[in-house]
Amino acid sequence: MEKIITEGIIKSYLNDFLKNIEVDVVIAGAGPSGIVCGYYLGKNGIKTVIFERHLKVGGGMPGGGMMFNRIIVQEEAMDIIKEFKIKYKKYEKYYVLDAIETISGLTYRTIREGVKIFNLISVEDVVIRENRVNGVVINWTSTQIAKFHVDPLAIISKYVVDATGHDCEICKVVEKKVGGISVKGERSMWAEKGEREIVENTKEVYPGLIVCGMAANAFFGSERMGAVFGGMFLSGKKAAEIIIENKK
Ligand code: 48H
Return the CATH number at 146.
Answer: 3.50.50.60
Q: How many domains are there within the chain?
A: 1
State the pLDDT at residue 186: 98
State the pLDDT at residue 204: 98
State the pLDDT at residue 235: 98
Distance CA 216, CA 195 (A): 11
Judge whether 97 lies within some domain. no
Judge whether 64 lies within some domain. no
Judge whether 17 lies within some domain. yes
Judge whether 166 lies within some domain. yes
State the pLDDT at residue 6: 98
Judge whether 93 lies within some domain. no
Please state the pTM of the whole predicted model.
0.98
Judge whether 200 lies within some domain. yes
Asked if residue 233 has its Cβ within 6 Å of ligand 1, the reply is no
Q: Torsion angle, CA of 161/191/53/176, rounded to 10 degrees?
A: 60
| pLDDT tens digits along 105-132 | 999 999 999 999 999 999 999 999 999 9
State the pLDDT at residue 248: 72
CA of 45 to the centre of ligand 1 (A): 25
* Residue of the CA atom closest to atom 16 of ligand 1: 60
Judge whether 98 lies within some domain. no
Judge whether 26 lies within some domain. yes
Asked if residue 117 has its Cβ within 6 Å of ligand 1, the reply is no
Low-confidence spans in the chain with pLDDT less than 70: none
Residues spanned by the domain of 230: 2-59+110-246
Q: Are 215 and 168 in contact (CB under 8 A)?
A: yes
State the pLDDT at residue 247: 81
Asked if residue 226 has its Cβ within 6 Å of ligand 1, the reply is yes
Distance CA 187, CA 201 (A): 14
Q: What angle do CA 209, 213, 218 make, to 5 degrees?
A: 80
